Amino acid sequence: MAVFAYDKMGAVIHAPAEAEMAALLDSLSAEDIEHQDVSLNDEQGWSLSVFPGGLIVFENVETGEGPWHMQSVTREKILEHWKDLAAGNHQKLLSLPWVAGYGA
């Protein structure tokens, strides 16, 4: 499945490798209030956005499903969730304990 990421400045990274995903997470900073998130997206419209402090938001912008969020997710879990999205494991992601809304 084709995936792409947005860095915190809005640049697109096509088919990011795990090291590139990790670098995106490392780029987040609570002090940078203007550029707050990075995301991984797939061709079916699913998006998993990450904010400082471990807030993650999962939604499908094509179908209107979601948004759902979780708070205080570890970096390791976020990478795992991004790899699941990249592999097309939507059902695994949907089975997580999401809370409705953006959580902000």
pLDDT band at 4 (very low <50, low <70, confident <90, very high): very high
User: What gap in Å lies between CA 12 and CA 73, rounded to an integer?
Assistant: 24
pLDDT of residue 36: 86
Tokens 């708070």: give the residue.
71
What's the angle, vertex CA 33, arms to CA 26 and CA 18, rounded to 5? 20
pLDDT digits (tens, 9 = 90+) for 23-35: 999 998 767 677 6
* Greatest Cα-to-Cα distance within the chain, rounded to the nearest angstrom: 34
pLDDT in tens, 56-104: 999 999 999 999 999 999 999 999 999 999 999 999 999 999 999 999 6
Question: Considering the entire predicted model, what is its pTM?
Answer: 0.93
